[in-house]
Chains A and B, each alone.
Chain A
Amino acid sequence: DQQVKQNSPSLSVQEGRISILNCDYTNSMFDYFLWYKKYPAEGPTFLISISSIKDKNEDGRFTVFLNKSAKHLSLHIVPSQPGDSAVYFCAASAYGDDKIIFGKGTRLHILP
């Protein structure tokens, strides 16, 4: 049973445009959500997070939106740059739980 779902395995976006990566979750106990970026043969790096008390968090070119009623979050990257080409993992955790549950990832290709 996949509690965190990233339904798009890959996404291609023109450089300079907006990249939107989507994530859905099923566990209503999740209250903290994270996005990680991963290059091949490297460990994932933390990008941005959001607590369930918020519906938006922004950090530079990265914005995460949370829609609790829809159990949906999205990561917006604007403007997209070549270095943004990577696999992006959505993750979630519940208060008091040691574990983070990851989605399967979305591979983002930024086209020149």
Chain B
Amino acid sequence: SQTIHQWPATLVQPVGSPLSLECTVEGTSNPNLYWYRQAAGRGLQLLFYSVGIGQISSEVPQNLSASRPQDRQFILSSKKLLLSDSGFYLCAWSASLAEDTQYFGPGTRLTVL
């Protein structure tokens, strides 16, 4: 069966510090991968998605970036965090275009102080 992992589970970082959140998927090959952010009262906002290694699509202009160095690894990064980057970050995967259901990881709670 497929499993999706995210770490860390919680993170408190000062403004201006870098960020690296990692997501890995097990039990599937060539998944589509997604990064979302849930901010209070704003639902789930799609940040990035990837249909293959090295292929990243950005949905929202911001100071975040994403990379996919391996087939089942998706990384969310920032060089300098802003206060507004605080939120709950979720990674998700889906099998292919033919199956649109996405499955989510446990999330990372990021607080920028």
Contact = CB atoms under 8 A, between A and B. Distances in A.
A11 interface: no
Interface in B58-99: 59, 88, 90, 92, 94, 97
Interface in A42-58: 42-46, 49
Q: Which of B49, B57, B101, B103 has the most CB atoms of chain A within a 10 A radius of its CB?
A: B101
Contacts, number: 56
Nearest to A33: B100
B104 interface: yes
B101 A46 contact: yes
A44 B46 contact: no
B106 A103 contact: no
| Overall SS of chain B's interface | strand
A93 B104 contact: no
| Overall SS of chain A's interface | loop
Interface stretch (A69-77, A78-86, A94-102): A94-102
B100 A34 contact: yes
A46 B93 CA distance: 12
- Size bracket of the B interface: 20 to 34
A98 B97 contact: yes
Contact of A43 (B32, B59, B106): B106
Which 5 residue pairs are nearest across A and B when measured between Cβ atoms?
A43-B104, A104-B43, A102-B44, A93-B100, A44-B104
Interface of B: 6, 32, 34, 36, 41-44, 46, 49, 51, 57, 59, 88, 90, 92, 94, 97, 100-107, 109
